[in-house]
Amino acid sequence: MSMEELLEKPLTPWMTGGGINGDIVLSSRIRLARNLEGVPFPNRADATRLTDIVGEVRKSLGDLRQADKHEYLFVEMDKLSPLDRQILVEKHIVSPNLAGEPANRALIVRDDAAVSIMINEEDHLRIQCLVPGLDLKSACDLANEVDDVIEAKHGFAYNEQVGYLTACPTNVGTGLRASVMVHLPALVLTRQINRVVAAATQLGLAVRGLYGEGTEAIGHIFQFSNQLTLGHSEQEIIDNLQAIAYQVVEQERFARQALLTGSGEALADRVWRAYGVLCYARIISGQEALTLLSEVRLGIDLEIITGVPATIFNELLVTTRPNFLQKVAGRTDIDPVERDRLRALLIREKFKEEKKNA
C-alpha cells in the first residue's frame, strides 16, 4: 500500500470490524514512548539533532520489513500537505501534535496501518499498534516485537530504578499507554455514562473522546486508557484496563437489553428515524452525522435494522470527517455549508449502495 492509497482508502484493516466484543469495542491500542540513549528529548534538541534522529530511526526500515514480512512506508511529515496530515489524524495513524508541527518529524507506517511509528513527537519514538476488538494482548505483543527490532540497533534511555525515560513524567516507567475505543450509545441514552466514566476515573483510567486528549465523545465513542506508567508492569497495566473494559462492555450490553425490553418500540422509532435522515438528508453537520450513525449502528447490532453491514459505521466514521471530505472534493477551500452538503451526499450514496447489495 502506497502513502496515497493509505490516505485515500476509507478503511484501514483494524477498522473493518470483528475481533473480541467487536460490536462494542472498535479497537485496542498500545503505544510505547521511547527515547534514544544520550540524545536530548525533542523539545530540547535543535533542528540538526532532530534531523539526525529521523535519519537514524529510518535505518530500522529494513529490519522491520524482515521481522514480519510486511512493507513499511517512511514519510517526512513536512513532505505531506496540511490536509493529508490531518487525514492521518482522522484515521488514528498519527497524533494531532505530530501533524500540527511537521518540521523535522517523520512517520513509519506498516502497509496495513496496524503499526505506526511517530518520530520526534513528544518523544523520539512513539510506537503505536492497533488491532480490532478487545485484544490488548495482541496489540502489546505486536508493539513489543517492533520495540525489540528497533532497540536491537538503538539503545533506549533507561534507568534501572524508574524504567524508560520520557519527555513527560507521566510516561516514565513502562512508557506504555494502553487504550480501548468503545461505542457506548445505550449507556448514553440511558444516562448512565457519567456514572461509568466516574467509576473508571476512580480506578485510574483516563476517559477521552474520539481523537484522544482534549476531544469530546462525539458519536457516543469513548477512549479508556491507563493514566499511570510508573510503578506498574506492562502486564498489570494491560490486565487492569482489560478487566475494566470487560465491565464497561457488560454494562453497555445490559443497557442495550434494558432499552429493548423497556422501550423497544421507542428505540426502534429512534433508530429508524436516524436511518431515514441519513438516507435522505441534503445537508448534515459532522456532529449530527456521527450521532445518527451511532444510533443506526446500535440498530444494526440489535438487529432492529437488517441487511446493512456494521462496517458502514466504521467507514463513514472516517469519510464524513472534514479533512477527508476535502480530499474527496479535491479542494481545500470548501465552505462549511458546501461541506455539509457533500457529507450528506456521500452518506446517501453509501446507504443506497448498501441497499443494492443487500
Chain segment 51-94, per-residue pLDDT in tens: 999 999 999 999 999 998 899 999 999 999 999 999 999 888 99
- Residue 249 corresponds to which amino acid? V
For residue range 10-51, list pLDDT tens digits in order: 777 767 777 899 999 999 999 999 999 999 999 999 999 999
User: At residue 100, does pLDDT exceed 90?
Assistant: yes
| pLDDT value at 298 more than 60 | yes
* Cα–chain center distance at 300: 22
Contact 318, 249 (CB under 8 A): no
Least confident range from 114-128, 164-178, 242-256: namely 164-178
Residue in 116, 122, 124, 149 with CA at minimum distance from that of residue 37? 124
pTM higher than 0.85: yes
For residue 175, which phi and psi values (nearest 5 degrees)?
A: 70, 15
Check residue 208 and give its pLDDT.
87
pLDDT at 190 over 50: yes
In this prediction, residues 315-343 reach a mean pLDDT of: 91
Of 172-176, 213-217, 294-298, 326-330, which has the strongest mean pLDDT? 294-298
Query: What would the grid cell of residue 115 be?
Result: 503499526
**SS3 at position 239:** helix
Q: What is the pLDDT of residue 18?
A: 79
DSSP class of 117: E
230 vs 134: CA distance, rounded Å:
24
- Residue 197, pLDDT > 50, answer yes
Rounded mean pLDDT of 109-113? 92
**How many CB atoms lie under 10 A from the CB of residue 242?**
16
Q: How confident is the model at residue 211 (pLDDT cuts 50, 70, 90)?
A: low
> What pLDDT is stored for residue 215 in this prediction?
47
**78: Cβ–Cβ under 8 A, 6 or more apart, which residues?**
102, 103, 104, 105
Cα Dmax for the chain: 64
Q: What per-residue confidence (pLDDT) applies to 314? A: 87
Q: Are 291 and 281 in contact (CB under 8 A)?
A: no
Please determine, for residue 235, whether its predicted confidence score (pLDDT) is greater than 50.
yes
pLDDT per residue as tens digits for the range 145-188: 999 999 998 999 999 999 999 999 888 999 999 999 999 999 99
Q: What is the Cα–Cα distance from 49 to 130, expressed in whole angstroms?
A: 30
Of the given ranges (127-136, 272-281, 290-299, 315-324), which has the lowest mean pLDDT? Answer: 315-324
- For the chain, what is the mean pLDDT? 91
DSSP 27-38: EEEEEEEE-BTT
Average pLDDT on 249-266 reads 96
Higher pLDDT, 111 or 6: 111
The residue-averaged pLDDT of 328-352 equals 93
In this predicted structure, the answer to whether residue 239 has a pLDDT above a threshold of 60 is: yes
Contact 293, 317 (CB under 8 A): yes
Instruction: Answer yes or no: is pLDDT of 214 > 60.
Output: no
Alpha helix stretches (DSSP H) within the chain: 3-8, 47-58, 61-68, 82-90, 96-100, 136-151, 185-189, 193-202, 234-280, 286-301, 311-319, 322-329, 336-357
